[in-house]
């Protein structure tokens, strides 16, 4: 019985297709004790598995994950392309910043891709270009096509893909599948089919798979429609706004959350235009949202 190491490329109906470093693909199942321990292998996981042809292989252990996502269920993600619609649906700084916070929390590098820019008037495009510059100033790569899915913007995006595991995300209708189909003409993701090389047989249910694309891996199921939940404590939210982290060292008080504290370095930077007003407004909104979820206990209601 050979013991091998590889990465899960496809998960469907309880089977996992694992690819080894030499490019061989093996169909495996997970050991029963994974279920007992409530551990589920994910696409992107690096695993040890045994093979005894002609039987299916068996996943023996899962390496520690760098991170993992729920939608789509993928582990060890390096970066995410945040496809952000500017029209139909309208641009929302709140939605974009929610997604950026979620990625920062999981240590996934964001790339912002503005879609449907050809629907903008010239003045609307100029306004969006200023917003794009604001995010670039924070340190985020931003792709702002003059025309939707034009070749220069696609080339720029292709340059980010080598040697990375990338997830495409964005709200419903933002153009995630369309972007992938433009990146690789003929991919035809709308049909919901995985390449025969990965499928090796027909299954009706499928979760997510990895596509080899421009010397990198891309999750072929666009995920994320919205973010309603922040898992962190309100006081930790500031850690996921990189510009606040940089300015925070100049705040008078350590642990400043940049709301009502005296000697805060963030608030003057917002007034001076060095921090985007929309970012600060979204931060306040998210902070209040997290605080509003905290249970309120009646101090007089004591148990004896």
Q: What is the pLDDT of residues 89-128, one digit of tens each?
A: 899 999 999 999 999 999 999 999 999 999 999 999 999 9
**Residue 19 marked ligand-binding:** no
Where do the domains of the chain lie? 2-62, 79-219, 234-292
Report the CATH architecture of 234-292. Orthogonal Bundle (1.10)
Q: Is 68 annotated as a binding residue?
A: no
Superfamily (CATH H level) for 2-62: Nucleic acid-binding proteins (2.40.50.140)
Q: Is 212 annotated as a binding residue?
A: no
DSSP string, 167-233: EEE-STTS-HHHHHHHHSTT--GGG-PPPHHHHSS--S---EEEEEETTEEEESS-B-S------S-
284 is in an annotated binding site: no
Of the candidates 246, 297, 220, the one whose C-alpha atom is nearest the C-alpha of residue 139 is: 246
Residue 175, marked binder = yes
Cα dihedral value 185, 191, 193, 195, nearest 10 = -20
Residue 172 annotated in ligand binding: yes
118 annotated as a binding-site residue: yes
pTM of the model: 0.87
177 is an annotated ligand-binding site residue: yes
Fold of 79-219: Rossmann fold (3.40.50)
Q: What is the pLDDT of residues 13-54, one digit of tens each?
A: 889 999 999 999 999 999 888 888 888 999 999 999 999 877
Nearest-angstrom CA–CA distance, 77 and 176: 17
Q: Is 256 annotated as a binding residue?
A: yes
């Amino acid at each position: 019985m050979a013991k091998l190491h590889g990465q899960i490329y496809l998960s469907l109906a309880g089977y996992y297709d694992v690819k080894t470093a030499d490019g061989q693909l093996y169909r495996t199942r997970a050991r029963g004790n994974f279920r007992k321990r409530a551990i589920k292998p994910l696409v992107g996981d690096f695993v040890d598995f045994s093979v005894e042809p002609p039987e299916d292989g068996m996943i023996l252990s899962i390496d520690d994950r760098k991170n993992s996502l729920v939608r789509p269920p993928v582990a060890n993600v390096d970066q995410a392309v945040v496809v952000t619609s500017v029209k139909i649906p309208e641009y929302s700084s709140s939605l974009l910043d929610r997604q950026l916070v979620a990625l920062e929390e999981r240590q996934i590098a964001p790339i912002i891709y503005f879609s449907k820019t050809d629907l903008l008037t010239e003045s609307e495009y100029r306004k969006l270009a200023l917003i794009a510059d604001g995010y670039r100033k924070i340190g985020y790569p931003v792709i702002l096509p003059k025309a939707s899915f034009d070749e220069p913007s696609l080339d720029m995006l292709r340059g980010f893909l080598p040697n990375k595991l990338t997830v495409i995300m964005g709200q419903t209708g933002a153009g995630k599948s369309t972007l992938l189909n433009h990146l690789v003409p003929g991919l035809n993701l709308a049909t919901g089919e995985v390449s025969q090389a990965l499928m090796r047989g027909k299954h009706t249910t499928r979760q997510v798979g990895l596509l080899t694309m421009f010397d990198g891996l891309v999750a072929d199921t666009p995920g994320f429609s919205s973010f309603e939940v922040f898992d962190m404590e309100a006081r930790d939210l500031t850690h996921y706004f990189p510009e606040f982290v940089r300015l925070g060292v100049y705040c008078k008080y350590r642990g400043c959350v940049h709301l009502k504290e005296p000697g805060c370095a963030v608030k003057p930077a917002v007034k001076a235009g060095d921090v985007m007003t929309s970012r600060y407004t979204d931060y306040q909104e998210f902070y209040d949202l997290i605080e509003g979820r905290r249970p309120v206990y009646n101090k007089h209601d004591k148990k004896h």
